[in-house]
Amino acid sequence: MLTGDRSAQLFGQVARIIAGAIPDADLVVLEGATHATYCTRPKAFAETVRSFGRSLACLTGRNRLSPPRPKVPESEGGSRRPKHYATLYL
């Protein structure tokens, strides 16, 4: 879980509850960040996400977290427009 120390009190409480309910979860509180940590502390947010990604890659033994998305031919409902999805490359 990731939150900021300047988040509304409710967000901090919810983050703690969720982190406490997930086995082996970590709670990261970024100093000076609001609930929108990616806006108020973008570099710290990015480094926290990279660190999390590296920890997953170490567990799986893979260098990247998501395999390439398979291409679906237009005849099967695919589109030439790129789909928006997230892949974290380490």
Report how far apart the first and last C-alpha atoms of the chain are (Å, whole number): 20
Write the DSSP symbol of residue 1.
-
From CA 11, how far away is CA 33, in angstroms rounded?
Answer: 12
Quick one: pLDDT at residue 83?
A: 47
- The pLDDT tens digits along the chain (90 residues) read 888 999 888 888 888 899 899 888 889 999 999 888 888 999 999 999 988 888 776 665 555 555 555 666 666 655 554 444 444 443
59 in a structural domain: yes
**Residue 49 falls inside a structural domain:** yes
What is the number of domains present in the chain? 1
Range of the domain at 38: 2-76
* 51 within some domain: yes
pLDDT at 76: 61
| Residue 53 included in any domain | yes
Q: What pLDDT is recorded for position 85? A: 44
Question: Does residue 88 lie within any of the structural domains?
Answer: no
On whether residue 62 sits in a domain, the answer given is yes
Residue 36 lies in a domain: yes
The pTM assigned to this predicted structure is 0.58
Task: Evaluate whether residue 85 is within a structural domain.
Answer: no
Give the pLDDT confidence score for residue 65 in this predicted structure. 52
DSSP secondary structure, 21-52, as one string: HSTT---EEETT--S-HHHHSHHHHHHHHHHH
Whole-angstrom distance, CA of residue 31 vs CA of residue 47: 14
What is the reported pLDDT for 84? 44
CB hemisphere CA count around 86 (13 angstroms): 3
